[in-house]
Amino acid sequence: MKNKLWFWPALIVGTAADQATKLLAFRHLEQGEYLRLIPYVLGLTTSENKGALFGMLPGSGALLALFSVAALGVILWFLHRAPQQGKCLPAALGMIAAGATGNLIDRTFNNGMVRDFIDLHVGPYQLRQWWSHWPTFNIADALICIGVAMVIYAEFKKPKAKQPVVDNQ
């Protein structure tokens, strides 16, 4: 049970980091402004996503908010039911929950939209081709992706159950 406590710091710190960075980005960047951090790779620009991943399901903020609440319930259920496995799985679930919570806060208090500001690309920012430009995202989205990768890692890392030896003689 002790290792499951890693869930709560990941949830709290992740949600706070997401909301703080969104606040800073939207307070200090004008709409459409681009701040280059690493030339040809990374910058900041503000956008609001009215849908889900890659803008799918536009205008479905209420439905997506309900999905986030359901996802949080499933995560808490899974955390409670998961066997004791170390710190990785609870921290990963906390990160996924933080991402869901951060985007849920946005949908609730931002007219159903999620605020995005991290811009990854290959080549000049102005090129903006499908092959060179990743959709703008936020810390919550990154936490969800990192958390899912950690869950997959934890699944591969856990010891395999030993198969009984069958003697056919």
Set 18, 116, 119, 167: catalytic member: 116
Question: Would you give the DSSP letter of residue 126?
Answer: G
Residue at 42: amino acid letter: L
Closest CA to 95 of 2, 7, 3: 7
- Would you call 116 a catalytic residue per the annotation? yes
- CA dist 105 and 122 (Å) reads 31
- CA dist 74 and 158 (Å) reads 21
Provide the H-helix boundaries in 37-138. 61-81, 88-109
Residue 32 and residue 116 in contact, taking contact as beta carbons nearer than 8 Å: no
Set 18, 106, 119, 141: catalytic member: 141
- CA dist 115 and 140 (Å) reads 10
Residue at 122: amino acid letter: V
List active site positions.
116, 141
